[in-house]
Structure 1
């Protein structure tokens, strides 16, 4: 009888230890509702510390500064996405998306755009410099008539930083 009581006591202690261990969060998996009885194993903890950095820039040029360019960059790690809109006054605009990479302060992207109903792409290279974004200008291949970015060119086109909510 004494052995049965001892075994029953040890069983209760073992079950208590097991239940206590089951209610503790694994290292790095702390959740506010972990001990809450309504916590479900399919609940996902969302990490919001890895959101992209969003930067926006604009440039006015041309006669009476009526030609405008707007650039929106979304940077997460070294991955870059965004929008690029070149809107000359009373001419066909060229608007589209950007995809590419960031190396240091240099942003190397492909601009996927449409102009006059034709879709095309153009490699574009930017430099992030303080409150400015600088771009290498486009050159024209004389044989094909297509624009391209010459890697030997200087970053000679400047854009000013702006509030991204103004571009939406």
Structure 2
């Protein structure tokens, strides 16, 4: 019986050691893993500017420069920023906005301040590689008090060039 027990232990030990497979874990280096994943950056800030020039009606030798400044901060599909129209000689129109970005189209509600008045207005824009195109056109006041485009398809666009943020 001792021989049978010893033989059984030896046979079992040999069987287990022969069938012992090494479990190797495959580890993908982080560098390679990051290259295979295409995801939207979690935070990005972009700035755009357009400066228009015209001559003063009262003095043709004088050049008037108006500026349109659009600053956008994006985190995922949430956006916020400022959109300011800064005319040379007139009242300015300042706004802050919040909304969403779907693909390259932004939809936001802007809080405006212009000529002593405050109001909310729809803001729609399209991001290009080095520019932003902001639509503008006839607006009507909605029941919620927000001014919205009467017909987005009939609206015009104002294109601003991308610049370094200050």
Report runs of 4+ in structure 1 exceeding 2 Å deviation. Answer: 146-150, 153-156
Report the CA distance shift for 1:140/1:51 in structure 2 as closer, same or farther (over 3 A): closer
- 3-state SS of the aligned residue for 1:164? coil
Separation in structure 2 between the aligned mates of residue 74 and residue 119 of structure 1, nearest angstrom: 23
Separation in structure 1 between the aligned mates of residue 111 and residue 153 of structure 2, nearest angstrom: 23
- 3-state SS of the aligned residue for 1:152? helix
Gaps of at least 5 residues in structure 1 are 1-49
Residue aligning to 1:129 = 128
Separation in structure 2 between the aligned mates of residue 75 and residue 119 of structure 1, nearest angstrom: 25
Separation in structure 1 between the aligned mates of residue 139 and residue 122 of structure 2, nearest angstrom: 13
How many angstroms does 1:153 deviate by? 3.4
How many angstroms does 1:109 deviate by? 1.0
2:49 to 58, 75, 91: 58
Alignment RMSD (CA, Å): 2.5
Report the CA distance shift for 1:115/1:161 in structure 2 as closer, same or farther (over 3 A): same
**Contact 1:136–1:156 under 8 Å retained in 2:** yes
Gaps of at least 5 residues in structure 2 are 1-40, 55-62, 141-145
Higher strand share: 2
How many angstroms does 1:117 deviate by? 1.8
Normalising by the residue count of structure 1, what TM-score does the alignment of the two structures yield? 0.60
- 3-state SS of the aligned residue for 1:91? coil
Task: Find the structure with the greater CA-based Rg.
Answer: 2
Q: 1:1-168 to 2 correspondence within 5 Å? A: 51-63=42-54, 64=63, 66-141=65-140, 148-149=148-149, 150-153=151-154, 156-165=157-166
Normalising by the residue count of structure 2, what TM-score does the alignment of the two structures yield? 0.61
Separation in structure 2 between the aligned mates of residue 118 and residue 94 of structure 1, nearest angstrom: 10
